[in-house]
Amino acid sequence: MANVTVAVAEVREGDYQADEIVVDIVPEPRHAGSELFWLAIVRVLTTINPPQQSWDRYKDSYSNIAEPGHWSSRVNELADLVERGTLAESIPGQVAHYSHREHIAGSVVKGTAMRALCGVFFVNTQTPDGLPECPECTERWRLLPR
């Protein structure tokens, strides 16, 4: 269905220390754009890092940043899940994002990602009722002309 490449880089620059991960998911031509391919992407990303709103996307590349040692710990957690024969569970979003209303219905029906005003890509799998608003989305919404 796709070629998946995972690369982890340790970044140690002065006061900044993090482990960055980049996942390239390139579809085979017959699966490009299919709903099944999108579901596979979501499963791969939420298995590697469960928070649904934590990945950044650029074309076929998805990236994430974590504290030093996080990805090594996650590999151990995944090995435990494999041993038990259990799927990794995703963690729903923690904030409500602003997105263009024309994209919402199609995203919910097809399970495809939307881009929030803050730049986060997310799949709309939950109602935002009761979630705090994303501060960056809220600020950008206020700056839009009325």
In this prediction, residue 11 carries a pLDDT of 92
Cα(92)–Cα(31) distance, rounded to whole angstroms?
26
Q: Using CA atoms in the order 35, 78, 66, 118, what is the torsion angle rounded to 10 degrees?
A: 20
State pLDDT tens for residues 49-102.
887 667 788 888 888 888 999 988 999 999 999 999 988 887 777 888 888 777
Phi–psi pair at 45, nearest 5 degrees: -70, -45
Degrees to nearest 5, angle at CA 139 with 136 and 128: 60
Q: What are the percentages of helix, strand and coil residues in the chain, rounded to 5?
A: 35, 30, 40
Cα(24)–Cα(3) distance, rounded to whole angstroms?
8
- The number of residues making up the chain comes to 146
Degrees to nearest 5, angle at CA 59 with 112 and 42: 35
| pTM attached to this predicted model | 0.67
Q: How is the chain split into domains, by residue range?
A: 1-91, 93-146
